Structure formats: C-alpha cells, structure tokens
Amino acid sequence: MKSWIVYLNKKMSVLIKPIITEKISDLNEKGKYGFVVNNKANKVEIKNAVEKMYGVTVEKVNTMIHPGKEKTRYTKSRIISGRTPKYKKAIVSVAEGEVIDFYSGI
C-alpha cells in the first residue's frame, strides 16, 4: 500500500499552473513569477521544476498556503454551503536578466 502512494507522488506534477494577475504581472517586471504548485511540494522541488521547465536560473523561492473559503449558495429548495479547496502558491525569483515567457506557446 505504501509503495503505491510513493508511486502516485512521483507521478504528480509539482507546477500546476502559472498565476497571471495584475499584482503578479507587476512582479514579473522585477524578475518574480507566481505559480500554483502541489500542496506537498517543497522549495527545492519547486526550484528544480521551474529550472527544468523554463530553462532559467532560480535564485529564491517563497511559498504560501492559501486557505479555502466558506461559500454559500441560495437556491429555490435550500441553502448549499461548502468550502473552496486550499492551494499552495510559490513566488519564484529568477536571476537578473532572465525572463519567463508564458505566452510563447500560444
């Protein structure tokens, strides 16, 4: 059973998607990029994944866990309550002069 869990963790991707918002776009000009990452990924794994995927040198990685929020929806028959899932964000600082282009494959 335990070996199956280890196998699944190796298959899971570290980087889920880049964050493209106004606040992160302002940081992009300073050489910092945001990513949504796997909740179990550590800073070393995130650094290696970004360097491998985008071919840049990563200087620093800051991580934060964004907690889920309570959401309530009112319908005709009843009130539905639930939570949005939590996720982990990473702000990655790349070396001076290096750029990550998210739009190159479009």
Q: What are 49-99's pLDDT values in tens digits?
A: 999 999 999 999 999 999 999 999 999 999 999 999 999 999 999 999 999
The CA angle 14-19-25, to the nearest 5 degrees, is 140
Stated as kind and residue range, the H or E segment containing 20 is none
Q: Residue 6 — very low, low, confident or very high, per pLDDT cuts 50/70/90?
A: low
Query: pTM, whole model, 2 decimals?
Result: 0.80
Rounded to whole angstroms, the Cα distance separating 16 from 41 reads 11
pLDDT digits (tens, 9 = 90+) for 9-49: 554 599 999 999 999 999 999 999 999 999 999 999 999 99
- Give all domains of the chain, ordered by start, each with its CATH number: 2-94 (3.30.70.330)
